[in-house]
Amino acid sequence: MIRSLLYILCMLASAMPQAQDSIPLYPGRQVNPVGGRDKRAVQPQIFHYPCGNSANRPAVLICPGGGYTGLAMDHEGHQVARFFNSKGFDAFVLMYRLNDVAQTGSRFPDQHDDVTTAMRIIKSKAATLGIDPSKTGILGFSAGGHLASMGATMPKEAVPDATDPLEHIDSRPAFAILIYPVISMKDSFAHRYSAAMLMGKEPAPGLSDSLSTYNRVTPNTPPTFIVFSSDDKTVPPQNGIVFYQALLRNKVKASLHIFDHGGHGYGMAPKDPVLNQWPGMAIGWLSQLGIEGALVK
């Protein structure tokens, strides 16, 4: 009876067109607005999609793509959140800071600060929200996949004596799900546009290497699930391959799936009977890690 009620609550939440509430990343602080291609002056925040009232629910922080100049908030954000709600996960969609072609917006480390701050906020509210911080991970698409990979490979450690209580919490996610992610900032298969928008057109020496996140993988990197399409001309699958190889070298649990079609930017691919299998595959993979939604047993 209780599980049936939870199912109904989560399905009602997942059917809503907007998130239940938004949480600012820097309340009371002035930061550069999101900006980007559409010039939205919106402060960095996360949109929370709660799922029921059970305790110790898993959660996922979702980073939409958009080349670090836009945010595909619907098909790589809110739709994905509703899917994870339907599987018993709380979901949070991140609105992070962006740049523009005139280089008047935000560049690294702003985006890295946003994703790590978002994860710290989620963990800090875990007890109040009924979330299990040890089962809270990250998911990203395209440039948002690069941001998610930074969150996974460049976490901020806890600083117990920090003045800011958020800094008492580490930002390491429990898992990472990377969907056609930008990984390299410098190789022949790099997505040059995302690189320029994140680092500037003339990045500081060594920054391109540092932010090519396959160079950042360590044995402490969380288990990672990666999806690509072999015909992706925008972000070639070599991005996923080098990241996967780095995970294997460091003995991190990893799963790489390369479909034979799809190109780039399909989100959950609801109209493609092959590509639309990846969300369920990711849920199955999480289950194998012992991370099951409140409704999945």
Among 45, 108, 65, which Cα is nearest to 227's?
65
Instruction: Tell me the residue range of the domain where 265 lies.
Output: 2-288
Q: What average pLDDT score do residues 61-79 get?
A: 97
Q: What is the pLDDT of residue 20?
A: 64
Residue 240 lies in a domain: yes
**Dihedral sign for Cα atoms in the order 125, 131, 134, 138:** negative
CA dist 296 and 87 (Å) reads 7
Residue 136 lies in a domain: yes
Q: What is the pLDDT of residue 57?
A: 96
Backbone φ, ψ for residue 19 (5° rounding): -65, 160
pLDDT at 61 over 50: yes
Under 8 Å between Cβ of 64 and 77 = yes
Residue 102 lies in a domain: yes
CA angle 225-24-53, nearest 5°?
A: 65
Q: What is the pLDDT of residue 10?
A: 56
Q: What average pLDDT score do residues 74-103 get?
A: 95
> Residue 18's pLDDT band (boundaries 50, 70, 90)?
very low
Q: What average pLDDT score do residues 48-61 get?
A: 91
pLDDT at 38 over 80: no
Burial 137-164 (b: 16+ CB within 10 A, else e): bbbbbbbbbbbbbbbbbbbbeeeeeeee
Residue 241 lies in a domain: yes
3-class secondary structure, 242: helix
The model's pTM is: 0.93
Total number of domains constituting the chain: 1
CATH for 200: 3.40.50.1820
**C-alpha distances out from residue 120 to 116, 137, 157, 168, Å:** 6, 12, 10, 9
Residue 293 lies in a domain: no
Tokens 């560049």 locate to 107
- pLDDT: is 14 or 191 the higher one? 191
Under 8 Å between Cβ of 217 and 246 = yes
- pLDDT: is 2 or 202 the higher one? 202
Q: What average pLDDT score do residues 261-266 get?
A: 98
Q: Determine the residue type at 128.
A: T
Q: What average pLDDT score do residues 250-274 get?
A: 98
CA dist 170 and 191 (Å) reads 29
Q: What average pLDDT score do residues 102-121 get?
A: 95
Q: What is the pLDDT of residue 297?
A: 40
Q: What is the pLDDT of residue 230?
A: 98
pLDDT at 202 over 70: yes
Q: What stretches of the chain adopt beta strand conformation (E)?
A: 21-24, 45-49, 57-63, 90-95, 131-141, 176-179, 224-229, 254-259
CA dist 291 and 284 (Å) reads 9
**Mean pLDDT for the chain overall:** 91
Q: Which two tokens stand for residue 32?
A: 């550069």
Residue 294 lies in a domain: no
Residue 297 lies in a domain: no
Q: What average pLDDT score do residues 204-219 get?
A: 98
Residue 295 lies in a domain: no
3-class secondary structure, 206: coil
pLDDT at 29 over 90: no
> Which spans in the chain are helix H?
2-15, 79-86, 110-124, 126-129, 142-153, 192-199, 207-210, 238-249, 278-288
CA dist 56 and 93 (Å) reads 19
